[in-house]
Amino acid sequence: MSDSKAPSSASSASSSAAPQQQQGAFQDPGKGTPTTVIVIGMAGSGKTTLLQRLNAHVHQNQDPSYFINLDPAVSKVPYGANIDIRDTVNYKEVMKQYNLGPNGGILTSLNLFATRFDQVLQFVEKRADSLKHIFIDTPGQIEIFTWSASGTIIADSLAASFPTVVVYVVDTPRNSNPVTFMSNMLYACSIMYKTKVPFLIAFNKCDVVSHEFALRWMNDLDEFTASLRSDDSYMTTLTRSMSLVLDEFYKNLRAVGVSAVTGSGMKEFFAAIDDARKEYYEEYLPVMQRVAEEKKAKEESIKQSQMQKLAKDVLKSKGQKVVMGKAHRLGREGDNDEDEDEGDEDEAEADYGIDPADDEVEDEEEEYGEIDPDQDRKDFDDFMAKIRAMQMSQAQAQAQSASSSSASASNSSSASFASSSSPSETPSSLSASSASSSSSSPAAVEREPYAKQ
């Protein structure tokens, strides 16, 4: 239960150690850093419809915003997307060429698009000074974005560049059942700790059913437990137990009610987004920087350790070419060379802080004996000759089997990537085989900017 406050407690520890640094380095810079809003939710919860309402709201209030669609399978986008994944990746062609189902096609399309997400960031950074929000619509299959490598890459890239908020859209009418409500809250909890950015729950479709019951269940454990008394099934018992765990989780959670159809709750929604932006700079950004510094220090320590091992190997071989394989040296006997080059010892001790005559080097010499470069080279050449012979035989077999089908394969090749309406903005259609090549992968396409929509 105490883990639900992990971001707050971690940032508090960081701020107590260096409060002046946090106040000076992590103040909200304001202009030039638009708030990124990643909209996630179950299929049918109303994510795309909510994006349409947000688009109308920011236009009405003249708040310049940027919209990105990451759903390659959607048939129609009801809002003006500045960047659309469908302009870069052809979802149906991906399914055909890779023999995938609907979910596999969406996942593969998102993976292909993630390889060019650095170009998306460049488009956004060019217009960052004039933007207030960046809204991102994710695929309807929530697990594809939340638990995939491409979703993690996209979310982490955005969080490292701009203040980022994750909005979890909940279908309010369906969650009037306490068991369904608990399932959604568990998923919301897992997403919050997976993304590690400020989190907001948006109870959508409040024009059909008010979200007040959900807020009462979140704030009053006794009322939620009372709603489960009429059912004594195993699922109800499990839900009652889980509610005790999530009671602490609710205390650090923002929740608002909105309606994508009528537009109610937009004022509270954007107020919660602004509050989450403030939390990003005060709590999450210091933690992210501390984690990045720890990772850098760990990599530097590993690098230094490898350099020390390399220095020991150089001293032991005395500059001769050897194959560093333990199997080649086990069981060999030889006299240890007691004449050490004093110049190499002094240089290694000064550059890497090691003593060439330490116990580790002596133990290795006693175990393996003196290295015979000629024997090692001969063993290595024999091994590589066998490998080359095996590769030649395999290549000949593959050439014979491929010669009969090469003509038909070249004629049946089709494009995985959709060509843009403007040939100068994106490459022409590419085959699936070339999609994996970084040199011929399609570029991300930006549509008309906000001001011209």
Which two structure tokens, joined as six digits, stand for 219?
Answer: 């704030």
| pLDDT for 200 beyond 90 | yes
Region of poorest pLDDT, from 219-228, 307-316, 347-356: 347-356
Apex CA 405: angle with CA 404 and CA 407, to 5°?
A: 100
Q: Which of 227-236, 279-288, 308-317 tops mean pLDDT?
A: 279-288
Contacts of 317 (CB under 8 A, 6+ apart): 371
Q: Which residues pair with 398 in a beta bridge?
A: none
pLDDT recorded at residue 441: 52
| pLDDT for 121 beyond 90 | yes
Query: Confidence band (pLDDT; 50, 70, 90) for 370?
Result: low
| pLDDT for 369 beyond 70 | no
Which two structure tokens, joined as six digits, stand for 129?
Answer: 């000074």
Which two structure tokens, joined as six digits, stand for 64?
Answer: 């310049």
| pLDDT for 382 beyond 80 | no
pLDDT digits (tens, 9 = 90+) for 291-340: 889 989 999 999 888 888 877 777 776 666 655 554 444 444 444 444 44
Query: Confidence band (pLDDT; 50, 70, 90) for 415?
Result: very low
Region of poorest pLDDT, from 74-83, 125-134, 427-436: 427-436
pLDDT digits (tens, 9 = 90+) for 402-414: 554 443 433 433 3
pLDDT digits (tens, 9 = 90+) for 152-169: 999 999 999 999 999 999
Q: Which amino acid is at 99?
A: N
Question: Could you give the percent of the chain with pLDDT greater than 70?
Answer: 69
Residue scoring higher pLDDT (208 or 354): 208
| pLDDT for 78 beyond 50 | yes
Q: Which residues pair with 166 in a beta bridge?
A: 38, 199
Query: Confidence band (pLDDT; 50, 70, 90) for 447?
Result: confident
Query: Confidence band (pLDDT; 50, 70, 90) for 371?
Result: low
Indicate the pTM of the whole model. Answer: 0.68
Helix/strand number for the chain, H first, E second: 20, 7
Query: Confidence band (pLDDT; 50, 70, 90) for 349?
Result: low
CA distance 159 to 148: 17
Q: Which domains does the chain have, with CATH numbers?
A: 2-296 (3.40.50.300), 320-385 (no CATH)
Arithmetic mean of pLDDT, 220-234 = 84
Could you give the C-alpha distances from 146 to 40, 89, 164, in angstroms and in order?
Answer: 8, 20, 15
Query: Confidence band (pLDDT; 50, 70, 90) for 232?
Result: confident
pLDDT digits (tens, 9 = 90+) for 16-45: 333 334 444 467 777 779 999 999 999 999
Query: Confidence band (pLDDT; 50, 70, 90) for 437?
Result: very low
Handedness of CA 288, 290, 292, 294 (dihedral sign): negative
Question: Of 417, 402, 440, which is closest to residue 92 (Cα–Cα)?
Answer: 417
Arithmetic mean of pLDDT, 365-379 = 58
Strand order in the sheet with 164-171: 83-84, 65-69, 133-137, 35-41, 164-171, 199-204, 254-257
pLDDT recorded at residue 132: 94
pLDDT recorded at residue 95: 94
pLDDT recorded at residue 321: 62
End-to-end Cα, the chain, rounded Å: 47
pLDDT recorded at residue 347: 52
| pLDDT for 73 beyond 70 | yes
Q: What burial letters (b/e) apply to 351-380, b meaning 16+ CB within 10 Å?
A: ebebebeeeebeeebeebbebbeeebeeee
| pLDDT for 2 beyond 90 | no
